[in-house]
Amino acid sequence: MKILFVSTRPGLAGVETLIKRMISYLSSLNDMDLTILFITKRNDDEFSNEFVQFLESKCDIYYGVDLLKTYRKLKKKNFEYVYAFSLFPLVFSLLLGRFFFQKAKICCGVYHPLEYCWKHGPKSYIRKLAHKLITFLPAENIFFMSQLTKEKHGLYMTRDFSKSPLIPIMIDNERFKKVVRKPNRQKIISIGKIVNFRTYMFQMVDVCCDLRKNHPELEIEYHIYGDGPLQTKLSDYIQIKRADDFVFLKGLLSYDKLETVFTDAFLFIGCGTAMLEATASGIPALVTLCPSHQPYTYGFFTEIDNGYNLGGPIPDAKAYPFYNKILELYHYTPKEYQCLQHLSQEKANLFSTEKVMKDFITKLKETKSIKVEISLFEYTTIIISYVFWKGMAKIGVESILSSRYCEEDRAF
């Protein structure tokens, strides 16, 4: 199989670590010819460089900004499939399909409940085109990461996605099962980019303050790993709440060093890939609502119904205050805690690399060929719109790009 994967840029985030795992597995198969196209070049930092070095050992890498060099070589590849990881890579893929890969089946993965169907924030041509794309592609070519993500797009688009594959984010279970656990009862952790839809990072500062005040014997600490546009704001909030003695911003964490953090964590709070990897190591996890105005959780990962839902608003699901669920865990006996660790690992097995990737390959073969119907005018307009909103964001104006993942409950 000749597959071209298209993503925005190399780096250290959920999609990038997913790409790394997918390429690692697929490259081990005999009949795979893999290529990755990043629209923009990587940042010159340790994490991006490590990421690219790994990929270069497994497949070919190209960058969209190297116009002549890139497309001259890509045109010769005769790809069977082109798989995009988000909105702008999909636009890029369709443009490539129009001029270079007319025979390739173009597909996309949907890794956020609002990727193509957000309603909050400024109106924009980008939003109109996003809606058009998700209704234009055959349902078989749209790979949803969870039932929630599929249902939200179906609701907003009034479209039947029953034929769309449900392919969850997968993790290297075998790697994290090897973590030797020595839980430190004081240590609660979160891992992820500090961005506006991760409201729980701010809310947990308040929760920890209340727990320290009402239950000083627990001596709870909250360790946050990651960076992002709201890092300074979160740091300031910690200072305002006088919580810097027990809430710690640890900065970026190399993907290769996750085990060192998982070894002694007592509880994980968050969603997505990092949560799966934590539970695969045996760490109990509280699933967050992203975003939420209240410090609430859907409960422990083991309590969430299947459907591969890993966070975000889940219609009709019961939510609990973080404070109450954290205290509940601290009242567990050692045997009950050990049982919860085991159940967490069992559920994480649903997301094992081999199981998910076998399903992915099967569903990829069932995708359909399409005739690209996006005009050159539309491509030009979305590029101009993208540049415009990027500029607005730099001068402090809320942009469609920064607000599209911030849908509020009233939207659905």
The rounded distance, in Å, linking the Cα atoms of 268 and 311 is 13
Note whether 323 and 199 are same-domain residues: yes
User: Does residue 190 sit in the same domain as residue 111?
Assistant: no
Whether residue 175 is contained in a domain is answered as: no
Split into its structural domains, the chain has a count of 2
* 154 and 26 assigned to the same domain: yes
Q: What is the pTM of this model?
A: 0.75
With contact defined as beta carbons under 8 Å apart, do 224 and 239 qualify?
Answer: no
Contacts of 162 (CB under 8 A, 6+ apart): 139
Cα-flanking dihedrals φ and ψ of residue 176, to 5°?
Answer: -85, -20
**What are the pLDDT digits (tens) for 201-231?**
999 999 999 999 999 999 999 999 998 889 9
Nearest Cα neighbor of 93 from 2, 1, 7 is 7
Supply the range of the domain harboring residue 347.
181-351
Q: Which long-range contacts (CB under 8 A, 24 or more apart) does 19-22 make?
A: 19/55, 19/85, 20/51, 20/54, 20/55, 20/255, 21/170, 21/171, 21/172, 21/353, 22/170, 22/357, 22/360
Q: Give the per-residue pLDDT at 99.
A: 78
Residue 156: closest CA among 92, 108, 197, 110 = 110
The whole-number pLDDT of residue 400 equals: 67
Cα gap 346→15, rounded to integer Å: 24
Report whether 215 contacts 331 (CB < 8 A).
no
Over the chain (412 residues), the average pLDDT of each successive run of 10 is 90 78 92 90 71 88 80 85 92 84 91 80 73 86 91 87 92 91 97 88 96 96 93 96 96 88 96 91 92 89 79 76 97 97 93 92 94 76 77 72 56 26
257 and 192, same structural domain? Answer: yes
Interstrand relation of 296-300 and 285-288 (parallel, antiparallel or unpaired): antiparallel
pLDDT of residue 410: 30
Q: What is the CATH number of the domain that holds 299?
A: 3.40.50.2000
pLDDT at 121: 60
| pLDDT given for residue 66 in this prediction | 75
Clarify whether residues 342 and 362 are in a common domain: no
